Amino acid sequence: MIVTVTANPSLDRTIELDSALDRGEVQRSVASSEQPGGKGVNVSRALIASGLDTIAVLPGDASDPMLVALRAEHTPTAGLPIAGRVRSNVTITEPDGTTTKINEPGPQLTADDDAALIDLVVSHARRAEWVVLAGSLPPGLSSDFYVRVVHAIRAATDGHGPRIAVDSSGAPMRALIESGIGVDLIKPNAEELAEMTGLPDTFEDDPDAAAAAALSLVARGCRAVLATLGSRGALLVTADETWRATMPPVAAKSTVGAGDASLAGYLLADQRGAAPERRLAQAVAHGAAAAALPGSTMPSPENTTPNAADVHLLSRPTAP
């Protein structure tokens, strides 16, 4: 069982244009869709498509359109009733794959909501193999929320609980790294990797520098870093080795959720007992497949071609 936690989920409305976005002008879309979203939710949706057991933990009443949409997709959920409504986000995609996102802040959560959400996560974490903490935090949750969740899981399971993966950014991720608590996996993209390390964001053009930056995070307690670098592939960095994988180019329809799909691909391969380099191959294959699909559609394994990935071991970088 893989538990995903999305503290700030969203109903994602995607609008597809047949020409470049022309600011200030009236344009007609060629297609539109609405899908449940948020990083952890997307990971669960991809895992369901892969036939794995998962449950998405998130704030939201059973009657909230977000929870209704997840039930319609047959995604198991554990919703925490709250006073507000789950946010809506808008994504505009252009023919060349350029994606523009407009995200709402999310509903205001209370101190009681905070405590109840952590309790809900812990109750499901007891029987999980992985817990994925993903995405931004809504108003009302402090930046150390993920730190407190990790502490609560470990306290409740006497240190024998699930492995924990985190995919976030900004203040919540800084708080996690600075706490030194150590988690099993983090999944930054190039921009987030630069933000976490305080280095210039040149990593998509310089994978060796990205590998060195990721290694510095391993030195600070993160057991593994899965760094996605867009069209330049991805890295898997541990204390022992650094792997890089790339995929043949794809015609991108939407990059929304591609990183979430990559994380799901990694977890899928891990659950199948794959070696690190094959986990990375499945991660980049899932990410490429997601980019080739419209909106935030998550791929199934049949959509992916991990054997097409070029995976190789990098020489050991020196952490900056």
For 171-201, how does the pLDDT look when each residue is reduced to its tens digit (9 = 90+)? 999 999 999 999 999 999 999 999 999 988 8
Smallest CA-to-CA distance from 203 within 226, 194, 112, 195 is with 194
Share of the chain above pLDDT 90, in %: 80
Contact, 189 vs 230, CB < 8 A?
yes
Range 243-247 average pLDDT: 97
CB 166 within 8 A of CB 221: no
Average pLDDT, the chain: 93
| Distance of alpha carbon 256 from alpha carbon 72, whole angstroms | 21
112 is catalytic: no
pLDDT at position 257, please?
A: 87
Find the largest Cα–Cα distance for the chain. 59
H helix runs in 206-257, sequence order:
207-218
Listed as own residue / partner, the contacts of 77-86 with beta carbons closer than 8 Å and 24 or more positions apart are 78/120, 78/124, 80/113, 80/116, 80/117, 80/120, 82/107, 82/109, 82/113, 83/107, 83/108, 83/110, 84/108, 84/109, 85/60, 86/9, 86/10, 86/11, 86/58, 86/59, 86/60
With respect to CATH, is domain 2-20+30-313 assigned 3.40.1190.20? yes
Please state, as a whole number, how many other Cβ atoms lie within 10 Å of the Cβ of residue 272: 13
Residue 263 confidence (pLDDT) above 90: yes
262 to 44, 84, 92, 174, 306: CA distances (angstroms): 12, 31, 21, 22, 11
Tokens 């997840």 sit on residue = 70
Q: Is the pLDDT of residue 253 over 70?
A: yes
From 64, 167, 260, 270, active-site residue: 260
Average pLDDT over residues 275-293: 96
Digit-coded pLDDT (tens) for 203-219: 878 888 999 999 999 99
CB-based burial label for 198 (10 Å; 0-12, 13-18, 19+): exposed
**What is the average pLDDT across 4-22?**
93
Structural contact between residues 130 and 161, judged by C-beta atoms closer than 8 angstroms: no
What is the model's pLDDT at position 194? 93
Helices (H) and strands (E) in the chain, counts: 9, 14
> What is the rounded CA–CA span in Å between residue 280 and residue 299?
16
Per-residue model confidence as pLDDT tens digits over 51-97: 999 999 999 999 999 999 999 999 999 999 999 999 999 989 898 87
Which pTM does this prediction carry? 0.91
Q: Which two tokens stand for residue 7?
A: 């503290």
Q: What is the pLDDT of residues 99-111, one digit of tens each?
A: 898 989 999 999 9
Q: How far is CA 194 from CA 39, 202, 227, 233, 296, in A?
A: 20, 8, 11, 16, 25
Question: Per-domain residue ranges for the chain?
Answer: 2-20+30-313
CA distance 299 to 54: 16
